Amino acid sequence: MRNSRSLWFAFGLALLSVYSAGLGASAQQKPKKAVVRNTVRRGFDRVIAYAKKRYPKSTLMGIDAVTDTSGSTVCVPPSDGWAYYFYQPRLRDFMVIYECEGDIAPGAKGHIPVDLKRHGALPAQFIDSGAAMAALSAATQLPRVRVSMKLLSHKTPPAAGSSLIWHIRVRRTWHMIDARDKKYLGTGGG
């Protein structure tokens, strides 16, 4: 009986050392880069073309989505992608267009993150959501969580002269990234 216990103990020790060696090797490997799939720039031109046809004379005022840490949305369901908020002066109302992995459709209005008194029209040139998340990762310790991203053009700049800003919510903290030059602007301003 004693020998069988010793044998099982030796076997367990050998198994533990093999398992530990395997863990050490995997810990030394470089982490894989996140694959950026459905960033805001990917469908931007198609959404603008769709909006011009469907909502002539409308103005793009804001964009938002829930993304991963690469700045890419997960499309489950399809209306869970990027929400583009267009203002129609004639109707004095917003129209929402959702885009996810090439699928474009009008959507429910729900919460509109744009205030016409504080925000202006978005220009066509801004950094992609993936670049904004990379800038945030470089400036902070970014955990692997879902984040809320919104792109707004402020009439009165909330930080250091930057008016076009990516607002990124990580857990309970809002971070700001300049949407022209990828500069981290600090926290606040959700």
* pLDDT confidence of residue 2: 53
CA dihedral 113, 114, 120, 121 (to 10 degrees): 70
* pLDDT (0 to 100) of residue 5: 53
Task: Convert the pLDDT of each residue in 62-106 to its tens digit.
Answer: 999 999 999 999 877 756 799 999 999 999 999 999 998 889 999
Predicted local distance difference test score (pLDDT) of residue 89: 94
Q: Are strands 93-100 and 173-178 parallel, antiparallel or unpaired?
A: unpaired
Q: What is the pLDDT of residue 37?
A: 79
Residue/partner pairs of 48-55 with CB below 8 Å, 24 or more apart: 48/124, 50/97, 50/104, 51/84, 51/86, 51/95, 51/97, 54/95, 54/97, 54/106, 55/86, 55/88, 55/95
**Tens-place pLDDT, residues 162-190:** 899 999 999 999 999 999 999 999 998 76
The overall average pLDDT reported for the chain is 83
SS3 at position 78: helix
Q: What are the structural domain ranges in the chain?
A: 1-29, 40-187
